[in-house]
Chains A and B, each alone.
Chain A
Amino acid sequence: MVSIRLHNVCLDYPLYGAYDFSLKRRLLGRLIREPGQMRTIRAIDNITIEAEPGARIGLAGPNGSGKSTLLRLIAGVYPPSGGRVAVHGNIVPLLGLNAGVNLDFVAQDNIALLLRIGGRKPTRSVIDEIWAFTELETRMQRLPLRMFSSGMLMRVLFATATAFPADILLLDEWLSVVDEHFAEKAEMRLQNLVSQAAIVIIASHDRPLLRRTCSTIINLDRGRIASTVAVEPPATHALELREKRA
């Protein structure tokens, strides 16, 4: 049973580097009893979210409102400092496309490695399928990624990251780089992926995208839930489509 349950979750982000944590400071601090400084910031403050299969949750909010941190917390990157996190199901966090890429390796090696990191076996047919999606020339598979333009690189990474469906899909703002033609194709694939996943959580500044994709939009503000908006799927969808065609 796939589910995400966050109950009164808080995350205090320790500010390493901003303050002097050194041994000298600790020993002296104890001797002269200087008052403790504020050493953490509360990045996530008392958030409760429950998601059952079928949930499409959009996270909106200004920069620094905790969208990415919340996604990372759900993915298990950060341990919560308070509250309860219970996640069941296979999570695929796609928070940054660049993760794990080595520009010196040739494209197909990169694809194989990224698939392995995702726990998939990179067979020839899978790599070919991914390559077909990128619409790049076959011989470029053997070129190091260093030679690729940033748009081409994005195509490869996107195609690889979205090649397999997931139970829980966590997406962070990353559909902005590619050209128009590929963007359309990418969004279709993303919608397809979203439709296969049991739970999807997307963080984005792109409100139309969120409205097209999600059933609920959570507005975050300084780590708290400012408001939760339920999206009416049919009406908005049709409207967006019309806008798009126009």
Chain B
Amino acid sequence: MESKNARLGLQLFSVYLLFYGGFVFISAFKAEWMEATPVAGINLAILYGFGLIISALVLALIYGVTCKGEDEVPAPPSTDAKSATAAKNGESA
């Protein structure tokens, strides 16, 4: 379950990385593209910036919903969870 989540996480991360990388590289090397106003008189810099913020949320929700089915293991009572972690760390609580 962990590795499945991790794999999905990495896939979504790559998608966002490409999108973010696009923004950063256009700003750095083709800054004038950002001045174009393709939609409703709003320039690309604002559209792309808002797009990055909204897509972060969308990807996060996709991740949340997809992982949800895997939460079937009921969360252990917190004291157990803690002692389990503590045992892993070789420390006492």
B and A form one assembly: no
Residues of B bordering A, CB below 8 Å = none
